[in-house]
Amino acid sequence: MNPMRKPLLNILLRTLYPKAGAAFSEALSWEYLSADELHQRQTARLCKLLQHCIQNVPYYRNYPVVNEAALSRPFSLETFRAIPPLTKDIIRSNYDAFVSDDAQKRRPYRNTSGGSSGRPLVFLQDRAHYETNVVANKLYSNYLAGKALGQNEVALWGSDIDIRKNSEGVSNSLRNLFYNRVFINCFELTNDKLYDICRAINRHRPTLIWSYVEVLDVLSRFITTHGIEVQSPRVIISTAGTLHKHIRARTQAVFGCPVLNQYGSREVGTVAIECERHEGLHTFPWTHYVEVVDGRLLLTALTNYSMPLLRYDIGDFAQPISSPQCSCGRNTLGFRSIEGRTIEFFRNENGDLVSGQALVHALYFRDFIEKFQIVQEEYGALRVRLVTRDIHKFESQRIDIESKFRELMGCAVAVEWDIVDDIPASGSGKFLYTRCKIRDRFV
């Protein structure tokens, strides 16, 4: 690293995010605490948030279970867990009641969910939440992945909203300077764009590549197909989607470095990231209370007071973990893996949920596939959009794929194939491998 960068970084950190430096230091002072100590400190923060909810937030003020949890002495997590999960529909129907009476003094800003699983939701978030949660946890995630402050990164992003936010204007230039980051818009991935990305990686030789999982998948296939030489970064962070095993394996082989899974959302910021041991995802008890209940992920950000959301049901499924202990020495593992967005579950002929990942598995190890998307619009039918480089090979394996789909979805399922030149990303910029449009029936 250029030694001149360090003082500049500190100035940028203090100017752009005055509270983030202290919050990052705090994360470092918490991360190796015992499970008991972490639990105590985390529940103290949760208790403080609950007090705020019953005093200042109309939705919670007269809500008996929330009052019971907030007033329990000693604080009882059991009473907290009695609060019903908060769905997006509840927030939509009661938006104003979730806004804290003292929101204005917290310099709140508006944020929206990505909308990949339905209509976007608008949220109000404290300026302090942005600095102590969103920014500090990004710094912490980078540190945990092995990127020190000031080392460079290439960000391969694919959301139109984030792209506009991150690639224009003076403050964004400063932000990219702070993260020592080259930001590449991957909203559309043409061959020219993929060559550009490879050239950018070879030119900048980043310590870290931070990318949408879908971009990694397309990019690593492209690099393999075209035999391109690329620089190995120290590490790759995959985010904003399910990191399927085959994508991780191919990306690690192509780039010759570990690929770590990160999970987060606009609603609550970065929630968790793997370390190189891959034993599960490390959560951040200093800023979040994370639960897995019946496979569903419930999230409570401990830092947002303008519009606090208790036990927010984000619509993702996670595999629970038996112990927070990781062999890296931290006691912060929260869940083993994200099972996939709600939208990635299909319905078989009996109405049962079928993981989209299981359908994706039926397409593993078929090198004629460049891109695909499996869509269910109605019961008993699947539509598969396919970009292929070898139509004859596809024809020879088509029956085999269809029989695997039928094993999962029922023997009467009709499979329709659309052979196309390209598959565009969704409106939010995320490329969805699997889309189920039978939304009203989801549990």
Shortest approach of Zn ion to residue 282 CB, angstroms? 6
Compute CA 357 distance to the chain's CA centroid, rounded to the nearest angstrom: 17
Shortest approach of Zn ion to residue 32 CB, angstroms? 11
Binding track, positions 260-299, relative to Zn ion; x by CB under 5 A: ---------------x-x----------------------
Per CB under 5 A, 328 contacts Zn ion? yes
By C-beta, is 331 or 376 nearer to Zn ion?
331
By C-beta, is 83 or 290 nearer to Zn ion?
290
Shortest approach of Zn ion to residue 333 CB, angstroms? 7
Angle CA 281–282–286, to nearest 5: 145
By C-beta, is 273 or 369 nearer to Zn ion?
273
Per CB under 5 A, 336 contacts Zn ion? no
By C-beta, is 118 or 324 nearer to Zn ion?
324
Shortest approach of Zn ion to residue 255 CB, angstroms? 21
Between CA 144 and CA 137 the distance in angstroms is: 10
Per CB under 5 A, 81 contacts Zn ion? no
Shortest approach of Zn ion to residue 233 CB, angstroms? 20
By C-beta, is 53 or 145 nearer to Zn ion?
145
Shortest approach of Zn ion to residue 42 CB, angstroms? 18
CB 333 within 8 A of CB 324: yes
The span of 72-80, 140-148, 181-189, 321-329 binding Zn ion (CB under 5 A) equals: 321-329
Shortest approach of Zn ion to residue 266 CB, angstroms? 26
One residue of 326, 363, 382, 386 binding Zn ion per CB under 5 A: 326
Per CB under 5 A, 144 contacts Zn ion? no
Strand order, beta sheet including 153-157? 181-185, 153-157, 208-212, 235-239, 259-265, 269-274, 281-283, 333-335
By C-beta, is 220 or 283 nearer to Zn ion?
283
Per CB under 5 A, 235 contacts Zn ion? no
By C-beta, is 321 or 432 nearer to Zn ion?
321
Shortest approach of Zn ion to residue 276 CB, angstroms? 8
By C-beta, is 154 or 260 nearer to Zn ion?
260
CB 317 within 8 A of CB 339: yes
Per CB under 5 A, 41 contacts Zn ion? no
By C-beta, is 39 or 277 nearer to Zn ion?
277
Shortest approach of Zn ion to residue 330 CB, angstroms? 5
Residues that bind Zn ion (CB under 5 A): 275, 277, 326, 328
